[in-house]
Structure 1
Amino acid sequence: MESPLEPLLDGRTKGFPAAAGLLRLGQVGSMGWNVLAEDLPLPLAVLKETALRHNSAWMRAFQDLTGVALAPHGKTSMSPQLFRRQLDDGAWGITVATVQQLRVCRAYGVTRVLMANQLVGRQAITYVLDELARNPTFVFYALADSVAAVDALAAAAAVRRPGRSLDLLVECGVNGGRAGCRSLAAALAVARRIKAAEPYLRLAGVEGYEGSVPGPTPDQQERRIAEFVGFVGEVAECCADEGLFGADPVILSAGGSAYFDMVTSLPRQLGPRATQVVIRSGCYLTHDSDAYARAAVRMRERTPAIASLGEGLRDALEVWSYVQSTPEAGLAILTMGKRDVSHDLHLPYARVALRPGRDARPRQLPPDCEVTALNDQHAYLRTTEGADLAVGDMIGCAISHPCTTFDKWRFLPIVDDDYDVVDAVATYF
């Protein structure tokens, strides 16, 4: 039988060498494969072990600096192996957006999950309540931003009777954003309704997502984010004043992958009540070479203390492909496309090339080589004379937005600095 940690792989799996036959995921690192030796078929997404370790250490240092806890968003990788790495590195729990993602966490044995979304629908609600009843060590939080949602959850809990309360966080939002209470009055109405539904429900904290706060310029957006973080804290303070929270430390959660430094200002005490500030960055582990790289520069500018952590996050995710055609001067067509690499925030960046049989190491491509378009299975790489590309050359591309690269792969090898395959991860999207 397959397990979340040891799925079976064969040649039907993209990126897996068919000649290897049938292997368990855990065997991949002992096969002696090297990406640059063409031991695996391309296109291929790879994770770089040195960068993963560096990014893990950086985030641990950030937590030590700021005193926040981390529940990385599982939607980024949907990989139990990476969840394990994050938990081993001290993550407080794992964040999910859907019950399917929660099921992956539970199949692997993750015991604390924050669902940064509303829990709606019979199938989803029933699963969560029954899982709470089955597993006394399972800790779960969901969001609520309406009295109607609270009433539905309370009614379901009264029927399923899980034997303990379903913990909820009041979700805060902003006009022009996505879900969440738009006003203090609305948030307090939800919080009071949760309190009234005890013992079936329990108010465990307050939540928001600052990444959806709109703003016409980066400076204005950051000012609005700061105001929003203050709003989340205000809701929590009012709930504490009314005695609406349960007995445990109050959870205050926000912080995606671009602004998590800004939510560290959330209060650590609500009168005599302790709080636990939980950030939810999912992309820190692999980072990228575009959107989050630029966000990291901005983060250092607005939070100078981050400079004390040394070198920032590194990009740890690459996609490799072959040059399959050079049909005209200045154009190389690659064997990857929209099915293989993210393209929602920016097209991939062609960084290095290697000619099998000639080059011992990848060589840097000229900076004006650019991927200008993607089809489903093709990439258009505009080249210059100095690029020296031929059919069969291997091209390594950096990416923008890890979330929408991971979801295109079931299997990703982990490589060392020489591109020897030392391990692998599986995903469950």
Structure 2
Amino acid sequence: MTITEVSRERYAALEELVRRKDKGRWLVLTHDNPDPDALASAQLLARVLRQALKQAVTVAYGGIIGRAENRELVKGLHLPFSHIRHLSLKKYKHFALVDTQPRSGNNQLPSRVIPDVVIDHHPIRANTQTGPFFDVRPKYGATATIVAEYMLVAGVQPTHALATALVYAIRSETLDFAREHTGPDKAIHDLFFPQANHRLLAHIQSPRLPLNYFGNLHDALENLEAVDSLILSHLGPIDQPDMVPEIADLLLRMEGKTWSLVTGYFGDRLYLSIRTTNTRADAGALMRRIIGHRGKGGGHGMIAGGWIDASKVTAPADRRDLQRKLGLRLVKELKKNPEKLGRVELRTLNPGPSPVPSRPPKPLSPRPSSPDQGEEQR
């Protein structure tokens, strides 16, 4: 494939930056609750730093790896990750952020630390531009595509595990190329697909699901609301934050719906996810307007996520009220009539046989004493 000129220039700049830096260990950090794109991007960048630039690297994340597919990705491919709470940042001299940006509110890099490297495909933030090196391409479907191009420029080959992670990252981030993507996304996917472990890829795409997954799904379906082409669901406490975007993806598949919003509480935060099929939308900007100054949010054109600090909202009624108010904000942003927002009742198409109603026993007829009496009894 043809490597983009931008990637050649940016990798040359990265190489020069690393050579100018003093020797010291690197920490490559993803966003909190990392998705496949963040997981793959971090491992790919670490391989480039180790193999091509001879650096010592640790790869870390914050939050939890919750979604079943993501856990299978890390476990099945034996990808080495550390949780940042187990690390001392004093041991690291250089920092890189992938699939996230400084002070975005979704990573554990302290605000006082200016990262040496930022690679992302979300809209660029002002804080990012103050750092020594950044490569932010909002038109790309996946951050992993950018890092994979660096790998090609550097002449580094991925392991079969990394090729598998890369392929799955691009597929999941672009929804099998149904969401925003570019020519390089497809080209990188097709280039490394033959090197992927297809058996493990199938396991990652269809993992075994825990019982609590179905409990959260049941709660989501029991709390559906809709107005026109918008479908919403507000969950109570959830087992892991990734459940919110997962259900938002699922609800968007509902016939007649082009927007979905799902919210759910995890710890002291209320998590939100927006999805749309509208290729001209700006879901990230929409999310930021809905959240306001109460939390952090962002995203791409068709997907967005965020959170609100709900530590002071403790009463169940107040928590439900907060979710409903956020839903109404989205309704108004999409210029839909809030008065038409109503519950969606799911009906069972095949409820099964109705129970036979019990009847009082019919009294036994006395045996007729003669044919005439028998006729009268009938």
Query: Which TM-score applies when normalising by structure 2?
Result: 0.28
Whose strand fraction is larger, Structure 1's or Structure 2's?
Answer: 1
Q: Which has the higher Rg, Structure 1 or Structure 2?
A: 2
Whose helix fraction is larger, Structure 1's or Structure 2's?
Answer: 2
Structure showing greater relative contact order (alpha-carbon pairs closer than 8 Å, 6 or more residues apart): 1
Query: Which TM-score applies when normalising by structure 1?
Result: 0.26
